[in-house]
Structure 1
Amino acid sequence: MSTPRTTADGAHPLDSPVGSALTGPHAHFAERRGRILRYPADVAPWFAMPDAPEARDWDDAAALAGPGGAVTITAFREPPPDDWEVVFHAEGVQLVDAGVATEPFPEAVRLGPADVPDMLALVERTRPGPFLPRTVELGTYLGVRRDGVLVAMAGERMRPSGWSEISAVCTDEPVRGQGLGTGLVRAVAHEIRQRGETPFLHAAAANTNAVRLYEAMGFALRRRTFFLSALVPDPLPTRLSAPGGDRDARAAAVR
């Protein structure tokens, strides 16, 4: 299987990875209202916005998130409306496989729903980024246990057609420097390649040590990107509660 380099409209699938995933391999997760797509709130925080959102698009995103909820976006630079509160924004980088030496990792074990409490505990200790109770459903997760304790893991998150994002790469402080993270990333990348897909990942641009490590492994910078999380106004924008404001009865989740 070859990796598609453009979508039907000529865009690259990684230019809008959330939208590409939720209209592709992850369509069964998609919740939709108007032109807005999102993952279920207990799976991943990501929303897909149009490149040039109108006021009604922000209203639809607000309705999907709910009062006081957060809309989290990547590969998107438009500021939210003035009555939204930006709680996080950061520059990021998107890196793609340019010759990673992939291979299985003998110490790795496959993780599943029964491991979620341990995965959440590891994430709480190491803070690799968003990981929620159902994130494990997005793809393959591999981990390393020592004396029964989960001390390292890595897995898959967004899956645009032909691509799979490596995410939740984390290692407990006492076992860092032993190559566990590198081994797990290579093992997850190996599984992705076995499906005929191409690995990619995101990192904070400020995390230069991690970026250098990924580049040394064979990942290459594809583009600089941006992460944004903004809180929906509470109460919701008045347009949503006006007569006819719920203009889109299609707001129900599409599973």
Structure 2
Amino acid sequence: MTTPLDNPFWSALASIHNSIALRAGDVARYPTDYAPFLGVPDAAVRVGDALGSLVAPGESVYLLGVVPTLPAGWQLQAFRPLAQMVCDAPLASVEGPEIVPLGDARRADVLALTALVYPHYFRVKTMDLGRYFGIYRDGRLAAMIGERLGDDGHREMSAICTHPEFHGLGYAGHLTTWLTNDTLSRGRQPFLHVSYENPRALGLYERLGYRVRRDIGFWSLRRIDAG
């Protein structure tokens, strides 16, 4: 039995991010200034011309969990599957400094930090997809966390990152614990995705109380025809 977590991009585009989704037939994607993600409802869907109307020649997008059969003119690259982790119960509190909301007034700080340590998928409007929070130290954004994907029953913990000058202070654990417990208190299950090539992060989330739900496929898709 499948759940929304088995197809996270599509699930979010069809629910909490429906108002910003770009659609053609059975294909949906985020606008480029939000995220480079594309989704389809299932692997059997015929993407045909719909895909070409949403992705520009030479552009790359990413798929998670479900990939359709592709027509000619597209290059699909499979990455190592990610660990999809979930949390089922409140986590033990972790001590740490004040956590503050990150809104428009702090956007430049967020973009500077993500450009340094989380550059691959964060865009100018990514932080408009959900709530974002951070820890400041000496006037600088030292660490952050946010919500990205989700549906009516789930929220993704995302962009969990720390400035290199503030590693080892427990900020990532403090932020993750705080937002996880807040999400659970709102009646939604927290989940996240982490690369097996980042064992330090994987170990942190396991120690906090997350468990691996499944390995989930992750691909890049590039349009190579001339349009």
Partner residue in 2 for 1:75: 65
Whole-Å separation in 2 of the counterparts to 1:166 and 1:205: 17
Partner residue in 2 for 1:95: 85
Partner residue in 1 for 2:75: 85
Whole-Å separation in 2 of the counterparts to 1:62 and 1:151: 40
Alpha-carbon displacement from aligned partner over 1:192-224 (angstroms, at most 9, x marks no partner): 123211100001122222112111111111110
Match of 2:154 among 154, 163, 179: 163
8 Å Cα contact 1:102-1:189 kept in structure 2: no
8 Å Cα contact 2:33-2:126 kept in structure 1: yes
SS in 2 for 1:193: helix
Whole-Å separation in 2 of the counterparts to 1:170 and 1:189: 15
The answer to whether the aligner puts 1:107 opposite 2:98 as a matched pair is yes
Whole-Å separation in 2 of the counterparts to 1:87 and 1:77: 11
Partner residue in 2 for 1:207: 198
Aligned residue pairs total 226
Q: Please, what is the CA RMSD of the aligned residues?
A: 2.2
Alpha-carbon displacement from aligned partner over 1:167-203 (angstroms, at most 9, x marks no partner): 0000011211101011111122123123211100001
Which amino acid is the alignment partner of residue 171 of structure 2? L
Whole-Å separation in 1 of the counterparts to 2:149 and 2:76: 23
SS in 2 for 1:190: helix
SS in 2 for 1:167: strand
TM-score under structure 1 normalisation? 0.81
Q: Looking at CA atoms only, which structure, 1 or 2, has the larger radius of gyration? A: 1
TM-score under structure 2 normalisation? 0.90
Partner residue in 2 for 1:62: 52
Deviates more, 1:108-117 or 1:59-68: 59-68
The change in CA–CA distance for 1:149 and 1:87 in structure 2 (over 3 A counts) is: farther
Q: Sequence identity of aligned pairs in percent?
A: 36
Structure 2 residues not aligned, in runs of 5+: none
8 Å Cα contact 1:141-1:188 kept in structure 2: no
Q: 1:128: how far off?
A: 6.2
Deviates more, 1:162-171 or 1:184-193: 184-193
